[in-house]
Amino acid sequence: MKIWNGIAIAAAALPLLFSGAYADDSAKLKTLVVAVPSDPVSLEPGTNKAEPIGSEIILNVFDTLVAWTAPDFKVLEGRLAKSWTVSSDGKVFDFTLREGVKFQDGTAFDAAAVKFSLERTKATNPYVKATFDLIKEITVVSPTELKITLSGSYPAFLSILAQPQAGIVSPAAVAKYGDKFAAHPVGTGPFAFKSAQADTNVVLEANPDYFRGAPKLSQIIYRVIPDASTRRLELEGGGVDIVQQQGQLSAIAAEDIEALKANKDVKVLESSSQIIRQLEFNNSKTDGPFANVKAREAITHAIDYDGLLKGVFGGTAERVYGPLPSNNWAFNPKMKDLAPKYDPALAKKLLAEAGVNPSSLNLKLYSFQGPLWGAVATFVQANLADIGINATIEQTEFPALRTLQTSGQFDVALDGRQPWYNDPDAHITIGYLSSLANTAMTFRMPADKQLDDLILKAQQTPDLEARKQLYFTIQEEIAKRVPGAYLFSPKLIVFTRSNVEGLVVNSAPPLNEYWSVYKK
């Protein structure tokens, strides 16, 4: 009988377990809980490799010299820099810095700290080698004046300075923690790093002395929740305040978005991204079915772009008209008319003109893994079948796909680009410059002096308006060569609890600053 007594007592005590062990509501209102799928890789500029979670935390803990102005992110504004000038040859940048700014450890911010930080990143961070190696010299003119000299003209350099790798670190903290700085990051940002537990959370605390004013929140908790359906349940139940679409290759199923839109406790913030997804041809190939431009053109007319946006994405993606997304500052509006339209009859006609017999083709359509890529590939496959082309889908694990792609063992593949800094250079140079064809997942453009010269000139022209015109021409020139079919640009989607206010979603790259966020 004793056992039964014990069980009875335990059963009577059970409700205690279910009673709330939670903090009071005022503390909850001051705390923002953000769900992320995994731990950040690195929490400091010196080792950041543009991995999204760590990058976002860095931009909330550290400040950069300049940043993109919300809400459309087309113009740079000063952050730790009050103002700046660029020399006419585009090589020398003179910055006037903000005065009276303090790091979170109480030490003062000055030009020497900027020099220290940028030189540190240059020395330790291989990810930004190509751009940071352009820095010839950084001179501290006075505590509030700094001169950066580049070895060549590179106007996108300012955009690089807005990146997390260019965050300004506290030299005193680096001296104090040495190798362990990533575990104790100290910057000037609106939130200071407090603690991190492996695979559990990262906690940031408000910096009351922040130079733009203390943030409205008192803390941010990043909760690591790897499973997408758990993240959704947590959001619906109020266990987290914000869930973002994270990761370069993942997206949320359209059904999930619909369900969350119908939930009155949840807000769905959608904004255009600079991500482009395309079907690309192996443009280096001189033989094969797509060596003839007419055959490539045929494929671009075979795809039902609007059907794809509606059917697969339910309105959560937008049309892409050419090599640049329409929200890029250098987007050429003419591209909207130049972009191919869905016309299967024309597609068949063009194939015939190119001398390609569609039934003789047996295409392998390579793609990334995941249900979303699978759905896109299936849609494209059906479109190709409509003009008589038989394609088999090969969804391949990323590293293996990269090897196939960079070694040119394909005819058509689904691919895409998520620029890691906000500049047309991030799409155009890497994607279409022929000398870079084998070095990354690119369009594998063949040597083409006219286009190559244009790309390099646009990359190096200091004058913004002249640059823009060059990129206008480049977009038209690339469109003429039909290197691929631009399929769609997924929107950035952030889900928040309905009481979260003041969040501005950054379009490129998708990193949110929480300084202005508060809970009602």
Using CB under 8 A, list all residues that contact other proteins: 16-18, 21-23, 27-28, 31, 33, 38-39, 41-42, 47, 49-51, 126-127, 129-130, 182, 197-201, 203, 221, 223-227, 229-230, 233-234, 236-237, 239-240, 248-249, 368, 397-400, 402-403, 406, 415-420, 430, 436, 438-441
Nearest-angstrom CA–CA distance, 247 and 264: 27
The dihedral through the CA atoms of 166, 170, 174, 180 has a sign that is negative
Nearer to other proteins, 417 or 497 (CB): 417
Q: CB of 87: closest distance to other proteins in angstroms?
A: 27
Q: CB of 365: closest distance to other proteins in angstroms?
A: 17
Report CA-CA distances (Å) from 15 to 9, 20, 441.
Answer: 11, 10, 57
Q: CB of 240: closest distance to other proteins in angstroms?
A: 8
Pairing mode, strands 412-417 and 76-78: unpaired
Count other C-beta atoms under 10 Å from residue 370's C-beta: 15
Q: CB of 435: closest distance to other proteins in angstroms?
A: 12
CB-based contact 59:164 (threshold 8 Å)? yes
Nearest-angstrom CA–CA distance, 275 and 489: 5
Bridge partners (DSSP) of residue 277 are 416, 488
> At residue 512, what is the residue type?
N
Nearer to other proteins, 215 or 358 (CB): 215
Nearer to other proteins, 213 or 226 (CB): 226
Kind and range of the H or E element at 432? helix 425-432
Nearer to other proteins, 236 or 477 (CB): 236
Give the per-residue SS3 of 17-28.
HHCCCCCCHHHH
Nearer to other proteins, 114 or 235 (CB): 235
Q: CB of 259: closest distance to other proteins in angstroms?
A: 13
Nearer to other proteins, 127 or 342 (CB): 127
Pairing mode, strands 276-281 and 412-417: antiparallel
Nearest-angstrom CA–CA distance, 208 and 230: 34
Q: CB of 209: closest distance to other proteins in angstroms?
A: 25
Nearer to other proteins, 19 or 85 (CB): 19
Give the burial string for 148-157 (b: 16+ CB within 10 Å, else e). bebeebbbbb
Nearer to other proteins, 100 or 237 (CB): 237
Q: CB of 370: closest distance to other proteins in angstroms?
A: 12
Q: CB of 275: closest distance to other proteins in angstroms?
A: 10
Bridge partners (DSSP) of residue 323 are none
Nearest-angstrom CA–CA distance, 359 and 87: 59
Q: CB of 29: closest distance to other proteins in angstroms?
A: 11
Kind and range of the H or E element at 68? strand 66-68
Helices (H), 354-423: 371-386, 398-406
Among 170, 188, 220, smallest CA distance to 31 is for 220
> At residue 89, what is the residue type?
D
Nearest-angstrom CA–CA distance, 363 and 179: 51
Q: CB of 210: closest distance to other proteins in angstroms?
A: 23
